[in-house]
């Protein structure tokens, strides 16, 4: 799978569009890199860039970006609300997909070494890339900001990790490192800069710097006034959204603002946010307000409204949520076909997609019809007294449907893995051994995928029977069809297990699989009859 690293460099320029655009062009010029976001701020006089790519391409893009920025920006003429020390102030590397923190640290060091030697910029390592406890945090390195560099860079303890140990008036110094996904997040306050800062002191982890820390871990914050918005903001850096997510920070700011008799007017996301953080917020508000929302798009919309993320500019999920911004490979080519194209492909002169993919589709449709009957009951005034029960019954069927859909392609992919293994060379004993091992891995996978269809489909039965008892009886035939097609999908998946199992040499594996399959088949047959019997008596 493709390795994806995010780089989020900040430049000390937020007003000159020509400079911002040329820096963006430098990123776009590097193959293998996608520029996701450019977020300038006039009051802060700072622009945050976000781009992603494989490790090698991201380092190259960061270097070309830096080269252009230090050419165009003169730090001796810079002023702005945000703390800063260099033309390119900070260059963090962040793991996104299939990469480790260690790989990001290596990227930071490669970038730092090259920028220091080729561009002559003093470079400091920070966060996970730094082993020096006295200059591990960004605020430690930035202490004194740009104006203070000339007084400390010549001290032995402040010798840069890369580049010259001297003050460069035009470029200043740059910090680079590796960190967890940082969310830059501002809460809007109808008040003064001092009032916003007071709230920031209450909630940020450091607190007021005395023995009384603030309430939120992994949180940095200050208060400032944004002229272009005509209001103050509690400006927060959430260093680890799994410790302190944005919705918790927002709610804490709201509580403190109420105590000060101040109004909170929404919030602002700077840059991008992981989908997980948005869904965490959705679950928080769903539970808090006793809502019933399963659709992901509706969950995102709920969060945008509850946190006022469109208060200063429209929040477009397609442009602000990182997973939505990435160019996704089509990992489910079969499931993404039209119904007509899928059926015609099944009927073509090819061995795949075959019975396994069709069985997965059938089982997913069975679960889908069960969920549909649940939805046809929920929210209906006639069945209003059942809402609390139906809320519990729809999610297992909805989730089962979604999970089985992914197995439509997984079944074909498993078969392909086995076929590739069969074509491996077999001239030497070692080659024969490797080929046999890969073939066994492939054939086990070809067994495990339909087995997973059986397991997931089987897990839907108890819910299907409960839906049969209380669901909207006007949808009786839909549930009957759903039950029959679910049973058929499970049976079809078993047939794919059965035909592949003899080729497995692991006898214990074979025995365990057969026992489990027999239990599922008996239960499926029993539950289908039970659903039909319940419906016939209503």
Query: Can you tell me the distance from the alpha carbon of 216 to that of 218, in angstroms, rounded to the nearest whole number?
Result: 7
The pLDDT, as a whole number, for residue 411 is: 79
- CB neighbours of 340 closer than 8 A, spacing ≥ 6? none
User: Percent of the chain beyond pLDDT 70?
Assistant: 99
Q: What is the mean pLDDT of residues 169-180?
A: 94
Strand, helix or coil at 165? coil
Assigned token pair, 387: 């809402």
Q: Where are the alpha helices (DSSP H) in 123-179?
A: 138-142, 145-152
Could you give the CA distance from residue 290 to residue 306 in angstroms, rounded to a whole number? 14
Task: Give, in order, the Cα–Cα distances in Å from 392 to each of 61, 389, 467, 482, 496.
Answer: 49, 5, 10, 19, 32
Cis omega before residue 142 (within 30°)? Answer: no
Residue 31 burial by CB count (10 A; 0-12/13-18/19+): exposed, middle or buried? exposed
Sign of CA dihedral 70, 126, 205, 313: positive
- Which has the higher per-residue pLDDT, 421 or 232? 232
- Give the Cβ contact number of residue 455 at 10 Å: 16
What secondary structure letter does DSSP report for 382?
A: G
- Return the exposure string of 70-107: e unless at least 16 CB atoms fall within 10 Å of the residue's CB, then b: bebbebeebebbbbbbbbbbbbbbbbbeebebeebbbb
The confidence score (pLDDT) of residue 327 equals: 58
Which range is least confidently modeled, 118-122, 423-427, 486-490, 503-507?
A: 423-427
With 60 as the cut, is the pLDDT of residue 175 above it?
Answer: yes
Residue 361 is predicted with a pLDDT of 97
CA 117 to CA 108: how far, in whole Å?
14
- Answer yes or no: are the C-beta atoms of 220 and 188 closer than 8 Å: no
Average pLDDT in the chain: 93
E strand or H helix at 222, and its extent? Answer: strand 219-226
| pLDDT at residue 205, rounded to an integer | 95
pLDDT band of residue 164 (cuts 50, 70, 90) is: very high
pLDDT at 330: 57
- Selection from 92, 83, 87 nearest residue 8 by Cα: 92
pLDDT surpasses 80 at 474? yes
Q: Report whether pLDDT(328) > 70.
A: no
Quote the pLDDT of residue 80: 80
Q: Which helix (H) or strand (E) holds 46?
A: strand 46-53
Whether 288 has a pLDDT exceeding 60, the answer reads yes
Lowest pLDDT segment from 54-63, 100-109, 434-443: 434-443
> Where does the pLDDT of residue 221 fall: very low under 50, low under 70, confident under 90, or very high at 90 and above?
very high
Place of tokens 């001796």: 76
pTM above 0.85, yes or no: no
User: How many Cβ atoms sit within 10 Å of the Cβ of residue 170?
Assistant: 14
Are 165 and 159 in contact by the 8 Å Cβ rule? The answer is yes
- Contact predicate 40/15, CB 8 Å: yes
Q: Which long-range contacts (CB under 8 A, 24 or more apart) does 251-255 make?
A: 252/202, 252/203, 252/215, 252/216, 253/187, 253/189, 253/199, 253/203, 254/187
Closest CA to 35 of 69, 14, 7, 1: 7
- What token pair was written down for 119? 């561009």
pLDDT of residue 417: 76
The C-alpha atoms of residue 188 and residue 34 are separated, in whole angstroms, by 31
Q: How far apart are the first and last CA of the chain?
A: 51
Q: What is the pLDDT of residues 389-432, one digit of tens each?
A: 999 999 999 999 999 999 998 877 777 777 888 888 988 988 88
Confidence of residue 5 (pLDDT cuts 50, 70, 90): very high
Catalytic (active site) residue 197? no
Q: Which residue has the higher pLDDT, 211 or 67?
A: 67
Q: Is residue 449 within a helix (H) or strand (E), and if so which, with residue range?
A: helix 429-458
Q: What is the pLDDT of residue 331?
A: 64
Q: In the chain, what percentage of residues exceed pLDDT 90? A: 79
User: Confidence class of residue 505 from pLDDT cuts 50, 70 and 90?
Assistant: very high
Structure token pair of residue 83 = 């703390």
Assigned token pair, 420: 């590739």
* Angle 241-326-305 from CA coordinates, rounded to 5°: 50
Helix 461-470 vs helix 507-536: crossing angle, to nearest 10? 0
Residue closest to 124 by CA, chosen among 85, 162, 92, 179: 162
292 DSSP assignment: -
Q: Please give the pLDDT value at position 43.
A: 84
For residue 355, give every residue at least 6 positions away whose Cβ sits within 8 Å of its Cβ, in sequence order, or none: 492, 495, 496
State pLDDT tens for residues 235-285: 999 998 989 999 999 999 999 999 999 999 999 998 888 888 999 999 999
Place of tokens 């008596």: 537
Give yes or no for residue 58 having a pLDDT over 90: yes
* Lowest-pLDDT choice from 40-54, 164-178, 213-227, 513-527: 40-54
What sections of 310-386 are H helices per DSSP?
317-320, 322-325, 339-346, 355-377
Strands 183-190 and 88-97: unpaired
What is the model's pLDDT at position 325? 77
Confirm if 177 and 187 have CB atoms less than 8 A apart: no
Q: Where are the beta strands (DSSP E) in 259-343?
A: 263-270
Q: Which residues contact 245 (CB under 8 A, 6 or more apart)?
A: 238, 277, 280, 281, 284
pLDDT bin (cut points 50, 70, 90) of residue 329 is: low
Annotated catalytic residue within 82, 197, 247, 398: 82
Q: Choose the weakest-confidence range: 21-35, 64-78, 103-117, 345-359.
A: 345-359
* Alpha carbons 306 and 300: distance in angstroms, whole number: 10
350 pLDDT higher than 90:
no
Instruction: Indicate which residue of 37, 247, 411, 417 is catalytic.
Output: 411
Residue that is written with structure tokens 């699989």 in the block: 513
Task: Please give the domain boundaries of the chain with CATH numbers for all domains.
Answer: 4-178 (3.30.990.10), 183-325 (3.30.70.670), 339-536 (1.20.120.680)
- Going by C-alpha positions, the residue among 175, 170, 171 that lies closest to residue 158 is 175
247 as an active site residue: the answer is: no
Torsion sign over Cα 357, 363, 365, 371: negative
Rounded distance between C-alpha atoms, residue 269 and residue 453, angstroms:
40
């Amino acid at each position: 799978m493709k390795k994806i690293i995010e780089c989020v460099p900040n430049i000390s320029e937020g007003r000159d569009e020509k400079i911002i655009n040329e820096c963006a062009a430098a990123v776009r010029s590097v193959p293998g890199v996608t520029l996701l976001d450019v977020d300038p701020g006039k009051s802060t006089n700072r622009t945050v860039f976000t781009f992603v790519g494989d490790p090698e391409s991201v380092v190259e893009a960061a270097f070309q970006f830096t080269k252009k920025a230090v050419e165009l920006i003169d730090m001796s003429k810079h002023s702005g609300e945000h703390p800063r020390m260099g033309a390119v102030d900070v260059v963090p590397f962040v793991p996104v997909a299939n990469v480790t923190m260690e790989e990001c640290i290596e990227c930071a060091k490669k970038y730092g070494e090259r920028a220091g030697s080729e561009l002559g910029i003093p470079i400091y390592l920070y966060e996970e890339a730094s082993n020096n406890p006295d200059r591990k945090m960004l605020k430690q390195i930035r202490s004194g900001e740009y104006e203070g560099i000339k007084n400390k860079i010549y001290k032995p303890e402040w010798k840069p990790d890369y580049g010259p140990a001297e003050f460069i008036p035009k470029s200043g110094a740059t910090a680079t490192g590796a960190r967890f996904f940082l969310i830059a997040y501002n809460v809007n306050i109808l008040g003064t800069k001092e009032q916003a800062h007071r709230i920031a002191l209450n909630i940020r982890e450091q607190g007021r710097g005395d023995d009384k820390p603030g309430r939120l871990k992994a949180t940095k914050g200050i208060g400032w006034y944004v002229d272009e918005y005509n209001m103050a903001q509690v400006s927060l850096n959430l260093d680890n959204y799994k410790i302190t997510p944005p919705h918790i920070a927002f709610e804490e700011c709201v509580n403190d603002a109420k105590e000060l008799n101040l109004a909170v007017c929404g919030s602002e996301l700077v840059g991008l946010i992981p989908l997980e953080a948005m869904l965490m917020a959705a679950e928080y508000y769903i539970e808090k307000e006793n809502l019933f929302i399963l659709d992901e798009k509706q969950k995102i919309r709920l969060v945008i409204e509850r946190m006022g993320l469109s208060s200063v500019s429209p929040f477009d999920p397609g442009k602000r949520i990182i997973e939505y911004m990435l160019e996704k490979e089509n990992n489910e080519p079969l499931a993404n076909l039209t119904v007509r194209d899928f059926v015609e492909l099944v009927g073509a002169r090819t061995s795949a997609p075959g019975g396994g993919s069709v069985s997965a589709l059938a089982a997913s449709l069975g679960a889908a019809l069960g969920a549909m009957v649940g939805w046809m009951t929920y929210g209906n005034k006639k069945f209003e007294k059942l809402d609390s029960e139906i809320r519990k019954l729809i999610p297992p069927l909805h989730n089962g449907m979604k999970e089985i859909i992914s197995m439509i392609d997984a079944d074909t992919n498993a078969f392909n893995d086995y076929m590739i293994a069969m074509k491996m060379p077999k001239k030497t004993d070692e080659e024969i051994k490797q080929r046999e091992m890969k073939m066994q891995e492939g054939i086990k996978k070809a067994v495990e995928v339909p087995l997973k269809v059986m397991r997931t489909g089987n897990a839907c039965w108890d819910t299907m029977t409960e839906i049969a008892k209380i669901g909207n009886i006007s949808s009786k035939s839909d549930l009957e069809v759903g039950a029959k097609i679910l049973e058929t999908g499970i049976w079809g998946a078993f047939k794919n297990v059965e035909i592949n199992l003899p080729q497995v040499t692991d006898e214990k594996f074979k025995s365990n699989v057969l026992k489990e399959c027999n239990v599922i088949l008996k239960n499926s047959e029993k539950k289908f009859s039970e659903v039909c019997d319940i419906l016939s008596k209503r």
